[in-house]
């Protein structure tokens, strides 16, 4: 039987998806103290890059060291890469991701944050892991308030994994739902925001029953809304409603997000088995990921794709089935962890 040992310094908001997968594959390691006895992670310098690092020991005591890099950047972090036997990364770019030993690098598809524990379990695990870090002299100055907030924010904002797979929620005829944050990163100002706005306006122009728009926090720069006044939402859509309405949508739209990364939306769309129209991807996807979406690279192509998927129900079903098949093979928490477990 294999033994799982997890470094507690991860960012729970981003690691929750993979922690769920570790539980499914290796059994329930609930971050009790016995899980962290003699943690062999001292040489791993985390700083503020709180990636998910874990070890899997076989019956002979031999350990396999694995890192999951869920950052938006295409670069690797040298200290993590040197430490790991396997370095899994979501945002890999053929020209920008430079590694000294490619045999370590594993390309994985984007996941998304989930509510993994109930509230009492969330508090218990947050406090337990914080105590382990504080007592372990790990060489990282963890702010207790920020650490606990990371766990509580995940519980408050995210939804249980099972809600993404509720087949009882059916599509609505001639209905499209799409919401997004109005991001202020430079590439989003130049590309992501305008492309998402074009999708929303094209749906409306074509007579589709469109619901959605852009959300911007009250603390945001008001100038960021210039050109999008007609698409602004008065308040954030709760994630529970977002999931239901996205499942009801005939199709969805994907665009590379901050730093041209694969956003959580793509992982969520695949989990829900949606028919996906996508702008060209900047980074790689494992397997045939780019072939399971309807790729568009102009306003004309976008309009043609919307018309096609609105009228052709059978075509939508094909894209939906392919998305779900791809998700189960490459994206689900269990699929990712099993892939990283292979020699």
**Of the given ranges (2-6, 89-93, 111-115, 307-311), which has the lowest mean pLDDT?**
2-6
* Each residue's pLDDT tens digit, 124-166: 999 988 888 877 655 566 788 989 999 999 999 999 999 999 8
Instruction: Give the distance from CA 330 to its chain's centroid.
Output: 13
pTM: 0.93
Q: What are the backbone angles phi and psi of residue 292, rounded to the nearest 5°?
A: -90, 0
Does the pLDDT value for residue 219 go beyond 60? no
Closest CA to 275 of 244, 304, 305, 241: 305
pLDDT band at 35 (very low <50, low <70, confident <90, very high): very low
Domains and CATH numbers, the chain: 3-107+116-157 (no CATH), 165-331 (3.40.50.2000)
* Each residue's pLDDT tens digit, 55-79: 898 888 888 999 999 999 999 988 8
Question: What residues have CB less than 8 Å from 3, skipping those under 6 apart?
Answer: 56, 57
**Of the given ranges (26-35, 58-67, 112-121), which has the lowest mean pLDDT?**
26-35
d(CA 244, CA 105): 36
Q: How many CB atoms lie within 10 A of CB 42?
A: 10
């Amino acid at each position: 039987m294999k033994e799982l040992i997890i470094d507690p310094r991860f960012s729970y908001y981003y690691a929750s998806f993979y922690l769920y997968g570790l539980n499914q594959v290796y059994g329930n390691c609930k971050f009790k103290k016995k899980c962290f006895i003699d943690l062999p992670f001292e040489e791993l310098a985390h700083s503020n890059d709180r990636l998910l690092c874990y070890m899997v020991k076989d019956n002979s005591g031999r350990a396999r060291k694995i890192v999951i890099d869920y950052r938006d950047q295409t670069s690797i972090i040298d200290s993590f890469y040197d430490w790991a036997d396997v370095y899994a990364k979501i945002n890999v770019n053929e020209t920008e991701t430079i590694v000294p030993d490619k045999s370590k690098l594993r390309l994985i598809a984007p996941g998304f944050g989930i509510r993994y524990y109930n509230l009492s379990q969330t508090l218990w695990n947050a406090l337990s892991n914080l105590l382990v870090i504080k007592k372990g002299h790990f060489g990282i100055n963890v702010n207790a308030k920020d650490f606990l907030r990371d766990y509580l924010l995940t519980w408050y904002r995210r939804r249980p994994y099972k809600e993404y797979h509720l087949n009882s929620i059916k599509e609505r005829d001639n209905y499209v739902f799409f919401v997004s944050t109005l991001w202020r990163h430079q590439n989003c100002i130049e590309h992501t925001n305008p492309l998402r706005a074009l999708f929303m306006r094209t749906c409306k122009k074509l007579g589709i029953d469109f619901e959605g728009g852009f959300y911007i926090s009250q603390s945001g720069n008001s100038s960021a809304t210039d050109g999008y006044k007609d698409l602004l939402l008065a308040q954030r859509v709760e994630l529970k409603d977002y999931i239901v309405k996205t499942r009801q949508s005939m199709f969805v739209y994907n665009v590379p997000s901050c730093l041209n990364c694969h956003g959580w939306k793509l992982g969520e769309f695949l989990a829900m088995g949606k028919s996906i129209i996508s702008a060209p991807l900047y980074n790689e996807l494992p397997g045939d990921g780019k072939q399971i979406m309807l790729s568009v690279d102009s306003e004309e192509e976008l309009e043609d794709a919307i018309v096609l998927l609105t009228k052709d129900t059978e075509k939508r079903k094909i894209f939906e089935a392919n998305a779900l098949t791809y998700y189960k093979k490459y994206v689900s928490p269990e699929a990712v962890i099993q892939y990283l477990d292979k020699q």
